[in-house]
């Protein structure tokens, strides 16, 4: 299993809600425009499975993203992500809305982002996660940068980190591996 820095594990012990960006976190960041005006995104199935495992341990999940896409709504429904905000220009305001909706303070939230609009959330949440290839200012301010790349298991890595920190990984795995 992966060893995580003790300082990050200590911060992750208090997390009750994981906030995710979409493009460059849940996807590889590329946008696919289809003839006729449609859009396609590729999501990693291991990220989805890990999110479901994390939610099964009582950790809530949310999406706050600057773009708007029907594909994101569909993926969020499939995974059971209840809090979805799209087309958010001011992510700090999006976080305030999420706090009001969830009843949770930012001090028990983590955020995973890859670009400059994610920085206001990094300053407010307990743990800031990013991915290789993210904007250099973002990786410099992240508490942890995943080994896996965006859209290729980075979210699964963060889910595993949080469950490891909270001592829920083995129970989550046992619920699946019966």
pLDDT band at 174 (very low <50, low <70, confident <90, very high): confident
3-state secondary structure 131-156: CCCCCHHHHHHCCEECCCCCCCCHHH
Q: How far apart are CA 141 and CA 53, in angstroms?
A: 27
Phi, psi of 172 (to 5 degrees): -65, -40
Domain boundaries, the chain: 6-176
Q: From 3.40.50.1000, 1.20.1110.10, 1.20.140.10, 3.50.50.60, which CATH number describes the 6-176 domain?
A: 3.40.50.1000
- Percent of the chain whose pLDDT exceeds 90: 90
Q: How far apart are CA 114 and CA 129, in angstroms?
A: 8
Q: How far apart are CA 81 and CA 70, in angstroms?
A: 14
Please, what is the average pLDDT of the chain?
Answer: 96
State the DSSP string of 70-120.
HHHHHHHHHHT--EEE-S-S-HHHHHHHHHHHH---GGGEEEE--SGGGHH
Check whether 86 has a pLDDT greater than 70.
Answer: yes
Check whether 129 has a pLDDT greater than 90.
Answer: yes
Q: What is the pLDDT of residues 58-76, one digit of tens each?
A: 999 999 999 999 999 999 9
* pTM score: 0.95
Structure token pair of residue 173: 């795995």
Q: How far apart are CA 62 and CA 80, in angstroms?
A: 10
Cβ contacts of residue 135 below 8 Å, gap of 6+? 114, 115, 116
Q: How many CB atoms are closer than 10 A to CB 109?
A: 24
Note the pLDDT of residue 154. 98
Ramachandran quadrant class, 4 (left: phi over 0; alpha: psi -120 to 50; beta: rest): beta
């Amino acid at each position: 299993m992966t060893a995580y820095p003790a300082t990050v594990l200590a911060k992750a012990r208090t997390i009750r809600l994981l906030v995710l960006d979409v493009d460059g976190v849940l996807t590889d960041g590329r946008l696919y425009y289809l003839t006729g005006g449609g859009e396609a995104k590729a999501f990693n199935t291991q990220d989805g499975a890990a999110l479901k495992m994390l939610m099964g341990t009582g950790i809530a999940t949310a999406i706050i993203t600057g773009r708007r896409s029907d594909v994101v709504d569909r993926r969020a429904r499939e995974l059971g992500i209840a809090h979805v905000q799209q087309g958010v220009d001011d992510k700090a305001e999006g976080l305030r809305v999420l706090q009001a909706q969830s009843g949770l303070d930012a001090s028990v939230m983590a955020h995973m982002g890859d670009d400059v609009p994610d920085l206001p959330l990094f300053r407010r949440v307990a743990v800031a996660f990013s991915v290789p290839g993210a904007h250099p200012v973002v990786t410099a301010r992240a508490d942890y940068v995943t080994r896996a790349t965006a859209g290729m298991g980075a979210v699964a890595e963060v889910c595993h980190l949080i469950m490891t920190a909270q001592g829920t990984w083995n129970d989550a795995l046992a619920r699946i591996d019966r």
